[in-house]
Amino acid sequence: MVNQLITGELQTNCWMCSLPGGNCIVIDPGGDGELILKRLEKLRLNPRFFVLTHAHLDHIAALPFLAAKFPGAGIAVHPSEAGKIGPHSLESHHRDFNTAGYSSYVETLWKPMPEASILLNEGDKLGPFRVMHLPGHSPGSIALYHEEEKQLFSGDTLFRAGVGRTDLPGGDEQLLLQSLQRLFAMNGDINVFPGHGPTTTIRRESGILKITI
């Protein structure tokens, strides 16, 4: 079961994916921690992992609140993003969102961030999901791929009729194009659950987005 909750000022998708035994993986707790907690309680799900597809603040703002509520849950992120959580991460978020034109956004949302407890690299497994490292939007952007269910949680690499921006610190248009080519070589029937906006499929996006390197 996959449950969607749209969170925060920037309308980030928080995905809750059920695991056996009433556990779940929470992907991108982007804000509205109380709302996420209420949804978890309603669904009777216990987070086993909080997974960050990348560590921009709009994808992690509820992490301090939720990590305190579920101290046994792992906090998983790619090594390249690990510096954006933990005790010394505030400066990097100011840099990101000042560049994006949201200078007050960080101060409004900021709470001290917990550190990562799990570093995810290409090919790692987390429950039924395989990690894909897809740099471009940020250096450590990842997707989670569930092959049996044909589900891909793409973060801000791929949206419905769009792709992630590359003008923030650490963004790289050439790497993003390479990551998209990799995704578009996958099974077209894969359902894509993005970091913002509605769901889509690999076939739909590969058919309308022209990727050239």
183-209 pLDDT, tens digit each: 999 999 999 999 999 999 999 999 887
User: Phi and psi dihedrals of 208, rounded to 5?
Assistant: -110, -15
User: Phi and psi dihedrals of 131, rounded to 5?
Assistant: -85, 135
Please state, rounded to an integer, the average pLDDT across all residues of the chain: 92
Does residue 55 contact residue 84 with C-beta atoms inside 8 Å?
A: yes
pTM, two decimals, is 0.92
Higher-confidence residue of 112 and 79: namely 79
Strands 118-119, 74-77: pairing is parallel
Look at residue 211 and tell me whether its pLDDT is greater than 70: no
Give the C-alpha separation, 14 to 21, whole Å. Answer: 21
pLDDT tens by residue, 5-61: 999 989 999 999 999 999 999 999 999 999 999 999 999 999 999 999 999 999 999
Nearest C-alpha neighbor of 196 from the set 54, 39, 43, 41: 54
Look at residue 91 and tell me whether its pLDDT is greater than 70: yes
- Residue tagged 């056996």 (tokens): 20
- Average pLDDT for residues 146-150, to the nearest whole number? 97
Name the band, by pLDDT with cuts 50, 70 and 90, for residue 108: confident
Name the band, by pLDDT with cuts 50, 70 and 90, for residue 213: very low
Higher-confidence residue of 41 and 91: namely 41
Here the tokens at position 45 are 């799900």
pLDDT at residue 100, rounded to an integer: 60
- Average pLDDT for residues 101-110, to the nearest whole number? 69
pLDDT at residue 178, rounded to an integer: 96
Strands 151-155, 158-159: pairing is unpaired
pLDDT at residue 92, rounded to an integer: 76
Give the C-alpha separation, 70 to 48, whole Å. Answer: 8
Higher-confidence residue of 158 and 91: namely 158
Going through 67-148 in order, the beta strands assigned E by DSSP cover 74-77, 118-119, 125-126, 129-133, 142-146
Look at residue 103 and tell me whether its pLDDT is greater than 80: no
